[in-house]
Chain A
Amino acid sequence: MTTTGTPSPGATRVGPARRPASAPLRVLTVVALVAGVIAIALIPLSATPYTNYQLSVVAAFAVAILGLNIVSGYAGQISLGQSAFMGLGAYAAAFGVTHGWPVVASFLLAALLPAVVGLVVAIPAVRLRGNALATVTIILPILAVPLAKRFSDITGGSEGLNVDWMHAPAGVGLDDDQWRYYVVVAIAAVLFLLGRNIVVGRIGRAFAVVRTNEAVASAMGISAHRYKVLAFTIASFYGGAAGFLYVAVVQFASPDLPNFLVAINMLAALVIGGFASLWGSVVAGFFYVYVPVFAGAVDPSRTNIFYGAALLLVLFIVPGGVSGGVSRLVRLLVGRLFGRRPPARDDDALTDPQPITSTQQDTAVPDASPDGLRSSVGPRKEVP
């Protein structure tokens, strides 16, 4: 029964499309994906060992930054502590390796130990908001470095822990760098797939509404506190897993990794790559690894200048980061080439908005909390 006098012409659109995508855009995405997978598979066979090493490090950092993206980009809770979890994961992996653990056991330790630490930290920490939460999270790397140096029995102190593992099995016909590349990229791909599944469904929608409006979240039965803790825990899990991947490539865990500058640079790289975007995390991984390389070619101290300039560019020109900018550009080009703007659908009456459009100026503020119902206002504290 249609009640509003605007009968919808066709069947209801309940496709899987998460965002408006036209047919040519979908084809383009599939082609790009297939080409990407082939390129990723073939590159290490012809690249230099050093390039393979760098690309593997990119994959490790992309995973760490994906975790950061889940808590900061998707759930909106700024964390400056991601490097601490990556460092913890790296030490845990090195611990497992030096004690002769099976690889799978080392991986589980490297991912789950940081997840548990993240959970324990998050339960009280996410009661804070915005800058206060960011300030608390920055304590993690600041604590992690001296702790790593202090417990030198386990961590190797300032020297760090060298490990010797993840060699190409005999008979595979691959060098170590190629083998490590494939292992690391495969694990990273699985983690990205799992991350994608998280951010597109029930959990991802809950993260998004917690980020944009906690009053609406609670009205829809979503506990903001619980989902912030969850996002933080997932981020810590990804940080730890990234630490494992890092040790698989670099064969080394040291106090340089949990450093807070690493966390800040990861966040900056994420802003540049694109918040709340899976591709953004990949771009950020490349940015994180390659900017110091390029900057180093000019002058090693110039990395920060590159970061600063890129950040400013992104903030002023492409607020969605590189991934957002590229996808907008692709949409625009596809729209031009195929004669219509993909997001527009001219096959129904409502697309041409009724006269009401012009009567409403207050559409500019609906993102604000309803009725001053900000959870910091009012007699009730948000969610015990």
Chain B
Amino acid sequence: MTSRLSVRDLSLHFGGIQVLDSVGLAVEPDTIVGLVGPNGAGKTSLFNCISGHYRPTSGSILVDGVPTLHRPPHRMAELGLSRTFQHPALQLDASVLDNVLIGAHTRLRGGALSWALRLPFTISGERRARQRAGELLDHLGLAGVADRPAGSLAHGLHKRVELARALLSEPRLLLLDEPAGGLPHAEVEQLIETIRAIRTEFGLTIVIVEHHMGLISALTDRVVVLVQGRKLLEGTALEAQRHPLVVEAYLGRTAA
């Protein structure tokens, strides 16, 4: 069985700075993998390589066995990959629903002419997309704010809107970049439940970058620890937390 995501020997330089150094990673279908490490370890850069936004210096990435290195980022969605961003990137003046509907882009067909003429398939497609978006918003507890401008929502809700947008593209592989970042404790508990539920319901494979160890322990099957662009170790969340090198990487030598 091919891995849903396979990263091999991946290196990334920005000028003289080595951001990623021979990182390898395999994510099996229907698993949740956590990507942890101190700030600047290269976690988000690895995400950006996987989603095609950064072009790695060397190495290879395969999604369901398909090499993706020479794909532009906008052609990753058709492989069933979607992602959220560390800092929610929404159109603040557009409604929550409109923000989420962007996720339906690859699910809708037809060019400018078909849409200008409102050909029947564009109307039915739009209706289905809105239906689906409504269900997702409902699912994520956002139904009541669907028509409000995204900019009027609290930060925690922005993250949910991003999640709904990513889910609307019906991905098989979902990259979540710090979904719990900036959320208070109670919301994190809720988020854990949400991620669990969507994973089962949509049959998702998920890679999570997160600092919140509670969330990582609760959700992930495996954890990959990155430190200074290198993979330090791979194991369960518990193994990772206990490993002396991880403790050292997070807290410094003396604390260990």
Please pick, from B103, B145, B156, the residue contacting A345 in the complex, using a CB distance under 8 A.
Answer: B145
A3 to B110, CA, bound (A): 34
Does B60 make an interface contact (CB < 8 A)?
no
Q: Which one, A54-62, A156-164, A264-272, A348-356, is touching chain B?
A: A348-356
Which of B22-30, B89-97, B233-241 binds A?
B89-97
**Chain A residue nearest to B118 in the complex (CB):** A197
Contact B145 A351 (CB under 8 A): yes
Quick check: is A153 within 8 A (CB to CB) of the other chain? no
- Is B7 located at the chain interface by the 8 A CB criterion? no
Some 20 contacts from A to B, beta carbons below 8 A apart, are: A2-B138, A3-B194, A4-B160, A14-B130, A14-B131, A197-B116, A197-B118, A201-B115, A219-B77, A219-B166, A220-B82, A220-B102, A222-B74, A343-B152, A347-B144, A357-B155, A362-B87, A373-B53, A378-B54, A379-B54
Q: Are A367 and B190 in contact (CB under 8 A)?
A: no
B138 adjacent to A12 (CB under 8 Å): yes
- Chain B residue with Cβ nearest A237: B112
Q: Which residues of B contact A9 (CB under 8 A)?
A: 144
Q: Given contacts A6-B141, A350-B142, A356-B183, is CB(A362)–CB(B155) below 8 Å?
A: yes
From B44-52, B212-220, B221-229, B243-251, give the one contacting chain A.
B44-52
Nearest-neighbor residue (CB-CB) of A378 within chain B: B54
B-binding residues in A (CB < 8 A): 1-6, 8-9, 12-14, 16-20, 194-195, 197-198, 201-203, 205-206, 208-209, 212-213, 215-224, 230, 234, 343, 345, 347-351, 353-357, 359-360, 362-363, 365-371, 373, 378-380, 383-384
B231 in the interface (beta carbon within 8 A): no
Residue positions of B touching A, CB distance < 8 A? 12-14, 44, 48, 51-55, 57, 72-78, 82-83, 85-92, 94-95, 97-98, 101-106, 108, 110-112, 115-118, 122, 125-126, 130-131, 133-135, 137-149, 152-158, 160, 165-166, 169, 177, 182-184, 187, 190, 193-194, 196-198, 201
Given A14-B134, A345-B148, A356-B187, A216 and B197 contact (CB-CB distance below 8 Å): no
- List, in ascending order, chain A residues with CB within 8 A of B74's CB: 217-218, 221-224, 383
Residue of B117, B147, B184 touching A356 (CB-CB under 8 A)? B184
Which are the 4 A-B pairs with shortest beta-carbon distances? A348-B144, A221-B77, A14-B134, A370-B85
Determine the main DSSP class of A at the interface with B: loop
User: Are B85 and A215 closer than 8 Å at their CB atoms?
Assistant: yes
Contact check: which of B106, B110, B139 meets A220 at CB < 8 Å?
A: B106
CA distance A357 to B169 in the complex (A): 28
The CA-CA distance from A195 to B133 in the complex, in Å, is 24
B147 to chain A, nearest CB (A): 5
Of chain A, the residue at the smallest CB distance from B127 is A14
Give complex CA distance A5, B53 in Å: 35
